[in-house]
């Protein structure tokens, strides 16, 4: 709802309720989101970051495109600090949000944004992002010094990573992008529905915004789409590829579909086809979530069987009046035993915890 508010504020209430409902359905039903909220139990941190990121984008837009008020600037920086502080990789969702604002202004509001204007306004957004990140880590450092609890108050320090001091970063950047996208393509080819959707929407978006660049006679539409797309990959500069960090993917996919829907006349035949395809996408995403629920339930049943089997064996063959000690650490042989849930079916956290050799 907050992102819908952002879209309406930027475009002066251009979108219909139906269009925003489509945006919300695609956003909420994206499988990575469901896994994040239901199985990885990051509900509070992810929710807080999503909300504060959307609010920060609203205040950032007010500061950059409207009046340069101190209140807007401070609010933008403060809410983005909270968003990053709750979950650091959300700074890349802000990055994607900035380029979506430029696309909305050009495509929906018909603004004649030149390259110079794009750069100048982009630098203002970037200044807010950099300031928020710096102030956040300064606050973390101060808290660590005051409390003498080092290594807490933050999930990680992106400023300690080698890529920021690597003089060959820009020369290797194309290779980095290729490597990350190949990784995404690998998971998609292995049947990861969320990443398959990401690939399809990226191809569709490329053709869509190429068409819009020609139609609007503004080549910078392509540049903004590339920035929107790249924002989904930049987060892997600070960590190895992991779908749990893909918070920008749902916004990216929903936004591209929303813009696509605006290019079709509501009274035309193509609009009906578009609605059918969008409904199919939402159903496919919902089916993926349902499959995850089924897989988790199946894993639970297998683990329950494991626990009951161990308990039955202990009662039948051992003296349970004494302390029971398990001396082995499960390895690949355990993974092939009949006690174990089948490989590849693990979702969420296991209720059986096996300690490591340490």
Q: What is the DSSP string of 186-213?
A: HHHHTT-HHHHHHHHHHHHHHHHHHHHH
| Residue 216 CB burial class (10 angstroms; 0-12, 13-18, ≥19) | middle
Average pLDDT over residues 219-246: 76
Compute the CA torsion angle 270, 96, 87, 199 (nearest 10 deg).
50
Higher pLDDT, 221 or 313: 221
Q: pLDDT value at position 103?
A: 94
Q: What is the pLDDT of residues 264-281, one digit of tens each?
A: 888 888 888 988 999 998
Q: Give yes or no for residue 105 having a pLDDT over 80.
A: yes
Whether the predicted model's global pTM rises above the 0.85 cut: no
Rama region for 151: left / alpha / beta (φ>0; ψ in -120 to 50; rest): left
Helices (H) and strands (E) in the chain, counts: 13, 0
> What's the rounded Cα separation, in Å, for the pair 187 and 180?
11
Average pLDDT over residues 101-112: 91
Among the listed residues 95, 82, 234, the one whose alpha carbon sits nearest the alpha carbon of residue 163: 234
Average pLDDT over residues 289-298: 79
SS3 of residue 238 by DSSP: coil
Q: Give yes or no for residue 320 having a pLDDT over 90.
A: no
| Residue 216 near residue 110, CB atoms below 8 Å | yes
Higher pLDDT, 174 or 353: 174
């Amino acid at each position: 709802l907050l992102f819908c508010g952002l879209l309406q504020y930027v475009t002066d209430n251009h979108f219909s309720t139906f269009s925003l409902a489509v945006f919300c359905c695609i956003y909420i039903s994206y499988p990575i989101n469901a896994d994040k909220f239901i199985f990885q139990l990051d509900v509070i941190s992810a929710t807080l970051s999503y909300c504060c990121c959307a609010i920060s984008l609203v205040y950032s837009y007010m500061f950059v495109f409207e009046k340069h008020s101190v209140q807007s600037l401070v609010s933008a920086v403060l809410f983005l600090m909270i968003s990053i502080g709750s979950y650091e990789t959300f700074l890349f969702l802000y990055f994607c949000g900035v380029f979506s604002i430029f696309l909305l202004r050009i495509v929906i509001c018909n603004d004649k944004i030149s390259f110079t204007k794009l750069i100048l306004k982009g630098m203002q957004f970037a200044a807010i992002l950099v300031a928020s990140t710096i102030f956040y880590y300064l606050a973390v450092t101060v808290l660590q010094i005051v409390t003498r609890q080092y290594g807490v108050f933050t999930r990680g320090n992106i400023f300690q990573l080698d890529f920021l001091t690597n003089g060959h970063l820009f020369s290797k950047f194309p290779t980095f992008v290729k490597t990350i996208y190949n990784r995404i393509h690998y998971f998609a080819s292995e049947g990861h529905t969320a990443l398959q959707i990401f690939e399809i929407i990226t191809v569709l978006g490329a053709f869509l915004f190429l068409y819009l660049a020609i139609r609007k006679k503004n080549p910078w539409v392509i540049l903004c789409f590339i920035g929107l797309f790249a924002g989904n990959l930049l987060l892997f500069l600070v960590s190895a590829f992991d779908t749990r960090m893909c918070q920008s993917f749902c916004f990216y996919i929903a936004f591209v579909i929303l813009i696509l829907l605006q290019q079709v006349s509501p009274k035309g035949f193509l609009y009906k086809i578009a609605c059918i395809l969008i409904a199919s996408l939402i159903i496919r995403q919902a089916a993926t979530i349902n499959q995850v629920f089924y897989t988790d339930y199946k894993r639970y049943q297998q683990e329950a069987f494991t626990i009951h089997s161990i308990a039955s064996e202990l009662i039948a063959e051992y003296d349970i009046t004494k302390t029971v000690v398990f001396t082995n650490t499960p390895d690949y042989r355990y993974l092939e035993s009949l006690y174990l849930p089948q490989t590849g079916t693990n979702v969420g956290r296991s209720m059986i915890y096996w300690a490591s050799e340490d």
